[in-house]
Every structure is written in C-alpha cells, then in structure tokens.
C-alpha cells in the first residue's frame, strides 16, 4: 500500500467543547468528560504550531461545541487573517458576539437550523423568530459583501423533515448559499427509528428528496443532499481533504466521529465510540504528529479504501467487533468500517 503523505491543509479547531444549548440530537449528550474551553496556554501553542505549517489553508472553528462561547473566538479570527476561516454555529449568539470586523474575517458560516418554531423549541430550545433575527443581524453586518457565505445545516430525521418546505420559504429571503441536509446519527436506541436512510432500496426517501429538490428550484435555493441508501463508494471528508482535528484539550484526532468518547447506533446496532488520538500537541508538535508513520499509514488506508465494510458484511449480525471502534477484522485500529460519515449519510463541512 502506498503512503499518502500530503501536507496538512485544513484544521478543525475546537476552541471549546462547551455549548449554550442542549440539543436533543447532539453527540455531546453521551460524553463522560466535563466540557471545557481551550486554555490560554494551549491556545497560544496551537496558534504558534499552525503558523509553522504554511500549507494550512483553512481553519474550521467548530468541533463538538459552540465556538462563539469561546473567549478566544475573536482573537482566533484576528490571528488567522491570512487563512480561510469557517465557523459552524448554532447561530443563537450572533447579536451578542458578532462585530463587523470579526464577520469580515470569516469566509463561511454554517448555521444549524433544522425545523420551524415547534421543532426548534423541542429539539434545540431555540425560538425560531429570534434565530431569524440573528441571521438578519449577520446579513446586516455583511452589508453588500459576498462573504461570509452562509450555509444552513439541516439534520434530517422523521421528526423534522416535513419542516423543510416552510423552512425553504423563509430561507429564500435570507441570502443562503447552500442548504445542506445531513442525516441523523442516532446516539441511542430511542433515536434509532428516526433515521430516514436505509441500507437498500429507499424509494420513499428518493421521492421525498425529488419533491424537495423541485421545491428548492422554485425558491432559488441550492440544496446539498446526503445519500438515501448504501453506495459502494466511500469517501472520508477528513482524510480526503488533508484535514485534522484539534480538541479543546490538544488531542489530535482524525475526525468528528473519533473526537470524543460517546455512542452511536448504526442501522439499529449500538456502538461505543472512543476518542482516537494520534498524540497531544502539548507533548509533540502538530507537524510531527501529522507526519508520524502511524497517522500517515492510517490516512493512506482510508484514502485508498483498504478497510473493511460492516453495513453490507454478511457477518455483521454475529461479529463481535461492531460494538466499538477499537479494531476492525483486518486487525487495524481504529475501526472505520462502520462509519456513516464516509458513506455520505452524515456531513460536516
């Protein structure tokens, strides 16, 4: 197998893993660790280390938390003026935290909105009208500028998918670049039946997506759709984009899915997720971790698709390796064989 040693281009920077909300679907519910802001000492170290890697083009302020909660939110944008800055946010603190100079330093906002009033209150504890006022405020700060682009991320499930039609009516007036639909990654068995995707033959969802697509044309919105059923092709958006993820404690992990301890349910099968770290910035420089043979070998394996596939494996019902992400049946760790992100069911930016 050939090694894939591309320079590091994209860094997901988790300035904090705490949040001002407690969304029903959120990955954070299954955590055992206390949420934490990145410390000042670590933040300085992270900035210095990213600076030493000129190939880094994009910094995504996101991860598992709300970046606008971080005391270093503004400073980070100021510090990395020469890079592309993307921010994933719940959008509820724009009026409190955003200023025109900060907004001018951001290239892309991805804001999570996945319902109308009733659904947003139930699922996220957010008042829809207030959230729209936050979006209007952002648009005012942008003035006539094209950037930051504004993408909306809609996490689709049986509970909220019907809201997408009235939501498109509202979003059509809000200068949206893309409406990105991602599927729900159930965190526990009670959510398992809320998913819309299937392993095979999902005519129902294909027809629904067709209706959504037609409606979006009328509204002048561009929609990015996830897969409806299992496809042969796999693509890891982290490895293929030469990205890494720095947690608020300085761990270097490959992606969102393996960033924290938690759980997920893959086609009805519960799984324990553990953090998979290739090293901590406090004890080894970022560049050294990125070039470490173990991490390079891992990226090469994922990039070249040399790893097993659980969702369509005949042994999946009896296999003892599907209960966690420790090892796959090739003896490799971590186990990516059951990952629904690489299957284009679950998205991140």
Q: Which residues bind ligand SF4 (CB under 6 A)?
A: 19, 21-23, 26, 28, 64-66, 90, 112, 124, 236, 238-239, 254-255, 257-258, 302, 308-310, 313, 315-316, 319, 321-322, 328-329, 336-337, 339, 341-342
Residues in 255-294 at the binding interface with ligand SAM, rule: CB under 6 A: none
239 binds, among ligand SAM, ligand SF4, none (CB under 5 to 8 A by kind): ligand SF4
Q: Minimum Å distance from CB 155 to ligand SF4? A: 8
**DSSP letter for each residue of 96-133:** HH--HHHHHT-SEEEEE--SSHHHHHHHHS--HHHHHH
Q: Where are the beta strands (DSSP E) in the chain?
A: 10-13, 58-61, 84-89, 108-112, 149-156, 178-183, 223-224, 243-246, 252-253, 262-266, 269-273
* Pick 79 or 242: Cβ nearer ligand SF4: 242
- The answer to whether residue 90 forms part of the interface with ligand SAM (CB under 6 A) is yes
Residues 133, 135: Cα–Cα separation, whole Å: 5
d(Cα 334, Cα 347) in Å, to the nearest integer? 20
Nearer to ligand SAM, 6 or 30 (CB): 30
Q: Which is nearer to ligand SF4, 100 or 315 (CB)?
A: 315
Q: Shortest gap between Cβ of 236 and ligand SF4 (angstroms)?
A: 3
**Looking at 62, 115, 123, 262, which residue binds ligand SAM (CB under 6 A)?**
62
- Which residue in 102, 119, 182, 309 binds ligand SAM (CB under 6 A)? 182
CB of 167 to ligand SAM, least distance (A): 14
Q: Which does 182 bind (CB under 5 to 8 A by kind): ligand SF4, ligand SAM, none?
A: ligand SAM
How far is residue 302's CA from residue 119's CA, in Å, rounded to a whole number?
37
CA distance 347 to 201: 21
Query: CA-CA distance, 9 to 53, in Å (whole number)?
Result: 9
Out of 15, 56, 106, 184, name the contact with ligand SAM by CB under 6 A: 184
> Phi and psi dihedrals of 260, rounded to 5?
-145, 160
Phi, psi for 58 (deg, rounded to 5): -130, 135
Taking CB under 6 A as the criterion, the residue among 11, 61, 64, 205 binding ligand SAM is: 64
Identity of the residue, 182 or 244, whose beta carbon is nearer to ligand SAM in the bound complex? 182
Q: Which two tokens stand for residue 267?
A: 């086609």
Q: Report the residue from 8, 11, 13, 19 that binds ligand SAM according to the rule CB under 6 A.
A: 19
Helices 164-171 and 203-219: crossing angle in degrees, nearest 10, is 20
Give yes or no for a contact between 172 and 222, defined as CB atoms under 8 angstroms apart: no
In the list ligand SF4, ligand SAM, none, the entry touching 22 (Cβ below 5 to 8 angstroms by class) is ligand SF4
User: What's the N-to-C CA distance of the chain in angstroms?
Assistant: 28
- Determine the interface stretch with ligand SAM among 140-148, 178-186, 212-220, 307-315 (rule: CB under 6 A): 178-186
Among 16, 58, 89, 228, binds ligand SAM (CB under 6 A): 89
Q: Which of ligand SF4, ligand SAM, none sits in contact with 310, Cβ below 5 to 8 A by type?
A: ligand SF4
Which one of ligand SAM, ligand SF4, none is in contact with 61 (Cβ closer than 5 to 8 A by kind)?
Answer: none
Sole residue written with tokens 């270093």: 72
Contact criterion met (CB below 8 Å) for 349 and 148: no
Q: What is the DSSP string of 247-304?
A: -TT-BEESSSTTSSSEEEEETTEEEEE----S-BTTTS-HHHHHH-HHHHHHHHHHHT
Is 135 a binder of ligand SAM (CB under 6 A)?
A: no
Residue 9 C-beta: closest distance to ligand SF4, Å: 16
The percent of the chain in helix, strand and coil, each rounded to the nearest 5, is 30, 15, 50
Q: Which residues bind ligand SAM (CB under 6 A)?
A: 19, 25-27, 62, 64, 66, 88-90, 112, 153, 155, 182, 184-185, 187, 346
């Amino acid at each position: 197998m050939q090694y894939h040693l591309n320079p590091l281009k994209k860094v997901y920077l988790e300035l904090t893993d705490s949040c001002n909300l407690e969304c029903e679907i959120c990955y954070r519910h299954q955590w055992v660790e206390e949420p934490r802001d990145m410390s000042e000492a670590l933040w300085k170290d992270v900035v210095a280390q990213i600076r030493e890697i000129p190939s880094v083009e994009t910094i995504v302020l996101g991860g598992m938390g709300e970046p606008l909660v971080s005391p270093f939110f503004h400073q980070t944008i100021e510090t990395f003026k020469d890079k592309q800055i993307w921010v994933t946010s719940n959008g509820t603190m724009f009026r409190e935290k955003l200023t025109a100079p900060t907004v001018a330093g951001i290239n892309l906002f991805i804001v999570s909105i996945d319902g109308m009033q009733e659904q947003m209150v139930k699922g996220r504890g957010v008042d829809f009208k207030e959230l729209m006022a936050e979006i209007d405020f952002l648009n005012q700060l942008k003035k006539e500028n094209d950037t930051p682009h504004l993408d909306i991320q809609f996490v689709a499930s049986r509970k909220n998918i019907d809201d997408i039609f009235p939501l498109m009516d509202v979003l059509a007036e809000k200068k949206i670049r893309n409406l990105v639909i991602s599927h729900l990654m159930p965190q526990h068995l009670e959510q398992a039946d809320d998913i819309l995707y299937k392993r095979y033959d999902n005519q129902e969802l294909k027809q629904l997506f067709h209706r959504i697509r037609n409606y979006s044309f009328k509204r002048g919105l561009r929609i990015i759709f996830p897969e409806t059923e299992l496809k042969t092709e796999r693509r890891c958006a982290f490895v293929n984009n030469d990205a890494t993820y720095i947690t608020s404690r300085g761990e270097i992990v490959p992606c969102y899915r393996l960033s924290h301890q938690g759980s997920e349910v893959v086609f009805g099968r519960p799984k324990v997720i553990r953090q998979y770290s290739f090293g901590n910035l406090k004890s080894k420089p970022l560049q050294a971790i990125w070039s470490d043979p173990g991490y390079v070998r891992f990226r090469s394996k994922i990039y070249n698709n040399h790893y097993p596939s659980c969702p369509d494996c005949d042994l999946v019902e009896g296999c003892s390796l599907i209960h966690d992400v420790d090892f796959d049946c090739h003896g490799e760790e971590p186990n990516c064989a059951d990952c629904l992100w690489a299957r284009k069911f679950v998205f991140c930016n």
